[in-house]
Chain A
C-alpha cells in the first residue's frame, strides 16, 4: 500500500522535527449501508506506530471517526542519524510498513 512520509533529510542534534505520514486506506466505518440496506462491514486501520532506531516514539489508536487515507503528524527530537519505521495495523489482518532515513549533525 502506498504511503507518503515526510521526514526532514537532515537535522541538527536536538532539533524538534515534524513527521507527517499519509497512507491510502478506505477507513470504512462499518456504519454505512448499501442501497438495498446491507451493512458495509467495518474495515479501518486501528493502530499506527512510529519507531526511531527501534524505539517507539509515537503511537496512535484510530477509530472510524478518522477520515479515509489517514493523515498523522507529530513531533520528535532529532537525537541521532538513523531510520524511522512506520507501521499501520488494521481490520482483516491489514498491515503495512514504511521507513525514512534522517542524518543528524
Chain B
C-alpha cells in the first residue's frame, strides 16, 4: 500500500516528539553512588554500625552544610580507623571526601562543610585496620540547592 501524504505527515510528526537526550546527567544517580562506593570498598561486605554521621536533617542552604563523621574505635596500633569516605546520592558527582587517619589520630572523628545540590542521602563509610567496612546513611532535606545557580 503506498503511503499517503496524511500518513507520512503523521509519522513525521511523531518523530519530532522524541525527547531530546541530554549529553550529561545533571545529577548523580544511585547507580553512580554505588559505583563510587565500590571503587573504594571493592567487593568487601559493608556492615551497618560503628559510624555516626552528624548532619542537620533539614538544610536551608545547600551551599554549606556542617557535617561530622565519627567512628567508634579505640584507635590503638592494632585496632584503628584507616579512612573515612563520604558520598552523596544526587550531587553532579557522588564523591564528597576521603579522609585518612592513623592510630596517632587518637579519636576517629572529622568535621567539614559540604555542598548538597538536592534533597538526598549522604553515606559515610569507615575502613578499619582489620579490613572491615562500616557504614551509615542519613537523609537530608535541602530547601536551597547548591551548584545550580548561575554565575554573574
Contact = CB atoms under 8 A, between A and B. Distances in A.
Contact of A71 (B96, B106, B113): B113
Contacts of A17: 106
Assign chain A's interface to a size class.
Answer: 20 to 34
Contacts of A75: 105-109
A31 to B, nearest CB: 4
A74 interface: yes
Contact of B115 (A56, A66, A76): A66
Please give me the 3 A-B residue pairs with the lowest Cβ-Cβ distance, nearest first.
A16-B106, A73-B111, A67-B113
Given A71-B112, A77-B106, 16 more contacts: A17-B106, A20-B111, A29-B115, A56-B102, A64-B92, A64-B147, A65-B96, A65-B114, A66-B96, A67-B112, A67-B114, A67-B115, A70-B112, A73-B112, A75-B106, A77-B105
Given A34-B151, A71-B111, A72-B111, A60 B63 contact: no
Which of A67, A68, A71, A75: most chain B Cβ within 10 A? Answer: A67
Contacts of B93: 63-65
Nearest to B92: A31
Contacts of A29: 92, 115, 147
A11 B87 CA distance: 34
Given A35-B152, A58-B101, A66 B147 contact: no
B106 A72 contact: no
Interface in A28-64: 29, 31-35, 40, 52, 55-64
A25 interface: no
